[in-house]
Amino acid sequence: MSIFFIIIIGILLFEYVLNCMVSYLNLGALDPKLPEEFIKTFDEEKYIKTQEYTKVNTKYSFLTSTLSLVISLSFIFGGIYNEIDLYVRSIGFNDIIITGLCFFGILTIISDILTIPFSLYKTFVIEERFGFNKMKLSTFFIDKIKGYLLMILMGGPLLYSILYFFENFTEYGWLYVWILLVSFSIIIQPIFNIFIAPLFNKFTPLEEGPLLDKIKAYLAKVNFPVKKLEVMDGSKRSSHSNAYFSGIGSNKRIALFDTLVEQMDDDEIVSIIAHEVGHYKLKHIYTGILLSAIQSGVMFYIMSLFLLNENLFSVFKMDNLSIYASLLFFSMLYAPISMILGVFFSAISRRNEFSADAYSVETAKMPNSMISSLKKLSKENLSNLTPHWLNVFLNYSHPPVLDRLNAIRKLEK
């Protein structure tokens, strides 16, 4: 029994047990008493519904994580990775990179076949039960087809390039791959705005009126030119509400979900936009890109040390060594480092959310509107108001809403 076998199996079991423990603690942290801060926002029925939504999603998460563990162990102990590899090799492609693309393609199809029933249940049973789902079954599968097309047109060439560099540049292949992916993460921003996002949603310019006037006045005040200020038809799929900022340089876009526009008053929407502007003004976007680049560079360098490692391949009962399988197997070996880095990046993200809230309060001068918008978002999205601290520490990219409200209250004073 190799050390790699012990590490990989140990990682899978540890992650599963940890997720189960955190879920259990999170359910135990549900408080039957509505926090005083929300007394005027939630009625008793709505608060009970919020907790029920958390309970149902936790049970669903337990089911899917159990399935994931069983599948992962079955693939390892059953030598299924090797069977797939032998099959794609038997096709007889002269190009090993094409063989690698087929290997990942088959794994993707198998994964999708196994997970689609659960995605359908999540969308058309759980989300439907709590009044969120607005998606038609046809839309679900059309989105799937669009996702496959994007994977083929963009993901295929990208993966081909990654495999090419690792196959042909032994010593510095990791460096070329890193440069490629950092460049791609920057180039994809305008591509997302212009081509990808409109494939899935309709974006319409925010219509003339008091709201647009207030937004323009605020953006001019903080000197933040935006190429597009649009409303997205989020209600086509869900009644969940949100807003997001995308793009860099001169291609910045602010997109408001139509559900958000319906649920919020004008000042609340301006305060939310001010929060999104804060992320950009406070350099959170560029800091995130830089940190992500550093993290991926370290990962690819370490990966280069484990390529074609016979002991690692023996864990998965592989008959042949290959660069493409090395990438997959290393990702499992790298999981503990990935989890630690994930916790680190989540902590930075939570800190940035506090900073963006503060920027909104300081520049828009509407702390009460920011507070009421956060309360409404929590109510309309059935957010858990009392998550366990360990769940927040491990999984939350945003601080719990009560922590954000308390921080804004302090700024008010």
Pairing between strand 243-246 and 253-257? antiparallel
What is residue 251's three-state secondary structure? coil
Pairing between strand 243-246 and 203-205? unpaired
Find out whether 288 and 355 touch, Cβ atoms under 8 Å.
no
Find out whether 279 and 356 touch, Cβ atoms under 8 Å.
yes
Q: What length is written for the chain?
A: 413
DSSP symbols for 184-212: HHHHHHHHIIIIIHHHHS-EEEPPSSHHH
Instruction: Return the structure tokens found at 374.
Output: 């956060």
Instruction: Return the structure tokens found at 50.
Output: 């919020």
CA distance between the termini of the chain: 62
At which residue do the structure tokens 């550093």 appear?
Answer: 294
Contacts of 274 (CB under 8 A, 6+ apart): 218, 222, 359, 360, 363, 364, 366, 370
Cα gap 234→311, rounded to integer Å: 48
Q: Write out the catalytic residue numbers.
A: 276, 357
Backbone angles phi, psi at 105, to 5 degrees: -65, -45
Cα gap 28→26, rounded to integer Å: 5
